[in-house]
Chains A and B, each alone.
Chain A
Amino acid sequence: DTAVSQTPKYLVTQMGNDKSIKCEQNLGHDTMYWYKQDSKKFLKIMFSYNNKELIINETVPNRFSPKSPDKAHLNLHINSLELGDSAVYFCATRGADYSPLHFGNGTRLTVT
């Protein structure tokens, strides 16, 4: 039973399209995150939600919009995809303060 699951695992699409990535967790954690990992493996935080409320919003283009319909889900919608959006996107969750992150297995997005 996967703790943090993301779908799809792979996403190949053309520039200008709109796509969504879904994340679901069964850990009962209050906080969920989206991270972007580039081709050099550098991890950059994008967003964080706590109990469906947005608490971290880094300098991410407005084309990226997270949505948290409930505490167990955090989806990422991307409008007007660009070549530079190609990366691996990771969902992660966290319980109490100082506890470690639990990551999903990532969604590899390729924009052509």
Chain B
Amino acid sequence: GNSVTQMEGPVTLSEEAFLTINCTYTATGYPSLFWYVQYPGEGLQLLLKATKADDKGSNKGFEATYRKETTSFHLEKGSVQVSDSAVYFCALSDVGDDKIIFGKGTRLHILP
């Protein structure tokens, strides 16, 4: 079946550091890939998405590239801020499937 694996947290970085959160997936078809962010006490919000191979999703300084050859969708940001502290979820949605599969989430702490 389809699945998403993302790096375990928590990840703790200093402000302005470079961020990478790894995400790999298995899927039977050609899924769309998503990153969601959850701030404390809130629901998940879409951060970025990519719908086909080699697409790059970007938003708020975050980027992720859909790599079919490595089945990956790693999240990156060049310079993190304290306000980026949250839980980040990688997710996929396969063709004709109403179910969106989430990774286990990675908690990110940014220190001032």
Contacts and interface: CB of A to CB of B under 8 A. Distances in A.
A41 B44 CA distance: 11
Interface residues of A, number: 23
Query: Secondary structure of the B side of the interface?
Result: strand
A104 interface: yes
A56 interface: yes
Given A97-B96, A98-B51, A104 B43 contact: yes
19 contacts: A40-B104, A41-B87, A41-B104, A42-B105, A43-B105, A48-B98, A48-B99, A50-B98, A90-B44, A92-B43, A92-B44, A94-B98, A97-B95, A98-B51, A100-B34, A101-B44, A103-B43, A105-B41, A106-B43
Interface of B: 32, 34, 36, 38, 41-46, 49, 51, 87, 89, 93, 95-96, 98-100, 102, 104-105, 107
